[in-house]
């Protein structure tokens, strides 16, 4: 509106992933998606909100782009492209899961830019998703970010 351009990492601006959302002795995990962070207990899926897969956060996304929240190696990419696992420093095992019950969409509306075994760097675009398609399918678009082995870190903390 005023002629200001949103700064990006490519032009020297700060990355969304610069905002740490989790921390433990092995390192920090940044915010992988622009949006409102919601308490873990408010995620609309009892498997996630109950901590069965580890501790983490939910994010109500403002846009459909996911960035690597830490340096690491891609440990998994769901066949339906809605979830990516990354192993980082100190064997941190991170899961980024886009949407609730979006596996039922069979990949429609999801695109990944990484494969299992790829090295990723913090701030790298790793996935895009179509928020409108998720809503049209009657699914929640909440992005779940979990440290699946959070129990391995007694000093694990949500920020």
Specify the pTM: 0.89
| φ, ψ dihedrals at 28, nearest 5° | -110, 150
CA 117-142-114 angle, to 5 degrees, is 15
Instruction: Evaluate if residue 13 carries a pLDDT over 60.
Output: no
Rounded CA gap, 18 and 66, in Å?
14
Which of 69, 84, 93, 97 is labelled catalytic?
Answer: 97
User: What CA–CA distance (Å, rounded) separates 74 from 12?
Assistant: 26
Question: Is position 82 annotated as part of the catalytic site?
Answer: no
CB-based contact 46:149 (threshold 8 Å): no
pLDDT in tens, 130-139: 999 999 999 9
CATH classification for the domain delimited by 9-158, as one of 3.50.30.40, 2.40.50.140, 2.70.70.10, 3.40.1710.10? 2.70.70.10
């Amino acid at each position: 509106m005023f002629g200001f351009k949103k700064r990006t990492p490519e032009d020297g601006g700060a990355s969304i992933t610069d905002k740490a959302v989790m921390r433990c002795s092995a390192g920090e995990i940044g915010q992988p998606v622009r949006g409102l962070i919601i308490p873990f207990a408010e995620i609309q899926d009892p498997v996630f909100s109950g901590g069965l897969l580890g501790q983490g956060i939910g994010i109500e996304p403002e846009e459909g782009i996911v960035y690597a929240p830490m340096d690491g190696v891609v440990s998994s990419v769901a066949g339906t492209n809605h979830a990516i696992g990354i192993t980082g420093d100190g064997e941190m095992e991170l899961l980024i899961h886009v949407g609730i019950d979006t596996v039922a969409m069979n990949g429609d509306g999801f695109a990944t830019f990484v494969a299992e075994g790829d090295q990723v760097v913090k701030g790298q675009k790793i996935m895009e998703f179509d928020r409108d398609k998720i809503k049209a399918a009657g699914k929640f678009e909440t992005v779940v970010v979990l440290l699946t082995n959070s129990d391995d870190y007694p000093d694990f903390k949500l920020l």
